[in-house]
Amino acid sequence: MAEWLKAHAWKACKRETVSRVRIPLSPPLFNDLAQPEIYNKMIWSPYGRQQMKKFFIIIILSLLISEISYAKAVKLNCSFKDAYDSMSDGSVRKLSSNNENYHIISQDTVVTIDEARKFFAGGKADRFDDEIIKITWVEDLKGPKGTIKLKKSWKLNRITGVLVKDVYSKVVGRDSSYGSPFTLRYDCRVAKKKF
């Protein structure tokens, strides 16, 4: 008898019908915004205004950050000034327009400075301060009779605006050290400005 009462009490507590109430899916946002009444409620209600402020603040901050990052990179238009070739006796000869390659070496150049990353001419600078920016790298020039190893050194004086490109060379397998530099000088007047 006691078992029958327990079973009966359990059945009485069990729900016989399941609620048939269904929660509909929320309509798409753009369909809501297409209705003027809902649009006005979303935009002009206190909650809507608060959300719009946050949205605009995020957009403005992202634009400011991108502007700051772009402002750190500066392109300098440098006009060719003169070129020098070091002779075997230690003297230096200034190249003139009569030189056969003068029309190639006498072209203007553009260099990029990235203040944030301390980059100069596309690479990490060896020295980067308020007066001098300098970078040095080595490059191999392969030819039919051998390989020439080039050491390039670019130095920009930020006070005078003069860019000096020194190119040292040695023949791999013959020269034990780099020879005297071939020097190009440029005038980068933008470098005189504080950036």
Sequence ranges of the domains in the chain = 72-192
Which pair of structure tokens corresponds to residue 13? 């507590």
Q: What's the rounded Cα separation, in Å, for the pair 111 and 131?
A: 16
The stretch 107-121 carries a mean pLDDT of 89
**Bigger pLDDT: 113 vs 36:** 113
Q: How far is CA 183 from CA 81, 163, 178, 186, in A?
A: 11, 10, 14, 10
The stretch 11-15 carries a mean pLDDT of 54
Determine the pLDDT at residue 195: 42
**Cβ atoms within 10 Å of 77's Cβ, excluding its own:** 13
Angle at which helices 46-72 and 36-44 pack, to 10 degrees? 70
Determine the pLDDT at residue 73: 74
What is the 8-class DSSP label of residue 28?
Answer: P
What spatial distance separates the first Cα and last Cα of the chain, rounded to whole Å? 96
**Cβ atoms within 10 Å of 155's Cβ, excluding its own:** 17
Give per-residue pLDDT as tens, 127-139.
999 899 999 999 9
Confidence of residue 193 (pLDDT cuts 50, 70, 90): very low
In DSSP terms, 132 is beta-bridged to 157
Confidence of residue 125 (pLDDT cuts 50, 70, 90): very high
